[in-house]
Amino acid sequence: MEFWNMIIKIIFSLQITSGILGNVSLLIYYLVYYIKPTLKPTDLILMHIMASNVLIVLSTGVPNTLAAFGLKKFLNYFGCTLVLYIQRVGRSVSISITCFLSVFQAITIIHKESCLKDQKVKAANCIGCSIFLLWALSIFINFIFLVYILVKRNSKNMTRTRDFEYCSTRVNDNISDSLYVALVVCPEIFFSVLIAWSSGTMIMILYRHKQRVQHIHSSPVSRRISPESRATRKILVLVCTFLAFYTLSSVLQGCISLLYNHNWWLLTINRLTSLCFPSFGPFILMRHYSFMPRLSLI
């Protein structure tokens, strides 16, 4: 058990270090080099993804790492509820804006395949308002859940305590469970399905385009991998990584919510998987959008 505790401490430390360095480096990169009128629409979306990832890493990774190193129950009830609120806001914003990025990319590609040539311009113009709306909805929806938990903390219906090691809260209220499913779980499922659909659409369009120009790529002049194949691989890596980590995290959180006796391994794996995409996602995005060479100064 001591061996596994040491491994978990190392993994948590690596996740926090990589998550903070990766996300903050990209934020600094955008703030220093890209705050100008030529800021690309995708860059603006990525800035907000990085900001939400920082929230997740700080609110989830730091408390779990301190608990893994032996600092237990250092948050009171209000602090615990506030940390959980920040976690949920960061997670909701990360999922929703990643979905928005995937849909925007699909619109950009469809623009080249259809006669609706003004769709890309319209999408670029409404990006700022859409991102602001996603942040506002995530903050407001999770704030409703936060207020309900604080108001009902002394209720007799809250009969079970959920231990997070760094703090604990009282749960098992039917209304709070229904609110969580309706306001948090259902939107996450919808956004995940939308991400899968938009990514599948992009891959299909790129595949059809590749088939139309197959005679060019198969000629002796062009020996390299086609741009369509490279773009398809990047999209697949990004969406599969995102969906895999967040789907696994959602399933584990559902199991924890339904089970009364929480297994130590189940709780630990859930905490580790919830940090995977926020911690390692920036490095996937660096490769996906090919701006790694421009980060040499940072």
Q: Mean pLDDT score of the chain, rounded to an integer?
A: 77
Q: Taking a C-beta distance cutoff of 8 angstroms, is the pair 256, 265 a contact?
A: no
Axis crossing angle, helix 2-33 with helix 264-273, rounded to the nearest 10: 20
pLDDT at 159 (0 to 100):
59
Count of domains for the chain: 1
Full residue range of the structural domain in which residue 206 is found: 2-295
pLDDT digits (tens, 9 = 90+) for 83-128: 989 998 998 898 899 888 888 888 877 766 444 445 555 655 678 8
Q: What share of the chain has pLDDT > 70, as a percent? A: 72
The 3 state secondary structure assigned to 105-143 is: HHHHHHHHHCCCCCHHHHHHHCHHHHHHHHHHHHHHHHH
CATH number for the domain harbouring residue 284? 1.20.1070.10
Rounded CA separation 167/17 (Å) = 23
What's residue 54's pLDDT? 92
Q: What value does the mean pLDDT take over residues 168-179?
A: 68
The whole-number pLDDT of residue 218 equals 52
pLDDT(292) > 80: no
Model pLDDT for residues 12-42, shown as the tens digit of each residue: 999 999 989 888 888 887 777 665 555 677 7
Please check the confidence at residue 294 and state whether its pLDDT lies above 70. Answer: no
38 compared with 55, residue with greater pLDDT: 55
